[in-house]
Amino acid sequence: MQISHLGIHESVEAVFPPEQLREELSALDPSVAVVGDRDALADCDALVTFAYRESFLDADLEWIHSIQAGYDRFPLSELEEAGIILTNSTGIHGTSVGETVLGTMLEIARRLHAFARQQAPHEWNRPDWDEPFTLQHEPICVVGLGTLGQGIAKRADAIGMHVTGVRRSAESVPHVRTVYANDDLHEAISDARFVALATPLTDETEGLMGEAEFDAMRDDAYFINVARGDCADQDALVAALRDGDIAGAALDVFEEEPLPEDSPLWDMDDVIVTPHAAAAEVDYYRHIAELVRENTLHIDADEELTNRVV
């Protein structure tokens, strides 16, 4: 495989300006250009993209790089049949997502989200004496211990939380005191004050958190989702929140995005809604550029590509 022309699809503007990435990659041997759905795509051997378009299959591409870790939007079997390599951006989001989760837990525990909502109407109300709490010694269960989950675990451990986790096997993970296998999910989440979902979306994880799982959680527990919206049953979550089966939630991903205006989640007092932005940071494009540069070197050396999915 030889890459002469690298395209940066305009859809990456959902995360950062495509021109930023083009400038960062300007020293590469392949020519680098920002391309859209209708222009110059046919001239590209490789493409860096946020979105997937059916036209990619017919563009004679050798390699597609997704700027996200998740690749559920890409038709893997069709790409494989077309001989197109797909790589993703797993491994770069541990810090940003970990800090986002830590931030939302601090908001909840210290009631900062409630104070923020009071500021616009100029309200001066202190919480009831038993509402605020500290995160030190509170138990958190991180479901999914890949890059995102380990980023969460590291930061939760650093402030003194009691960190447990769930993964396919019960092998130990840094900063996690106890690791449960997938089959022991209910036991793992039953005593946690916070349950943070950080799995990729697969056939096995679709609907992973549902009615039975929310029933298994403590009634003073909070659910955090930085995985994918379809990894949790949103109707079951709304019901659990309404019925007081759990205390609240911090949600960055949803079954439908943007979250519809009529969703009850918008108006629930102890629900924090963020617009699928947990991984957002000013250096995002630099992390993508590093992965792309690394893989162009692998291609030149006829070596296996980093983060190859297909």
The one catalytic residue in 9, 93, 276, 287 is 276
271 pairs with which residues across the strands?
A: 249
**Annotated catalytic residue 126:** no
φ, ψ of residue 40 to 5 degrees: the values are: 65, 0
Residue 224 host element (H or E): strand 222-225
Q: Please tell me which residue in 78, 80, 257, 303 is annotated as part of the active site.
A: 257
Q: What angle do CA 138, 140, 145 make, to 5 degrees?
A: 150
Beta strand 222-225 pairing with 194-197:
parallel
CA 283 and chain centroid, separation: 16
Return d(Cα 200, Cα 307) in angstroms, integer: 14
Query: Catalytic annotation on 228?
Result: yes
* Distance between CA atoms of residues 62 and 291, nearest Å: 17
Cβ neighbours of residue 125 under 8 Å, at least 6 residues apart?
118
Helix (H) or strand (E) holding 49: strand 46-49
In the annotation, is 257 catalytic? yes
β-pair partners for 249: 223, 271
- Side chain identity, residue 66: S
Q: What is the C-alpha separation between 170 and 165, in angstroms, rounded?
A: 9
Provide the H-helix boundaries in the chain.
Answer: 18-24, 76-82, 94-109, 112-119, 147-158, 185-189, 211-216, 234-242, 284-300
Q: Which of 22, 175, 228, 287 is catalytic?
A: 228
Alpha carbon distance 94, 126 (integer Å): 34
Q: Characterize the bridge pairing of strands 31-35 and 248-251.
A: unpaired
Kindly list the catalytic residues. Answer: 228, 257, 276
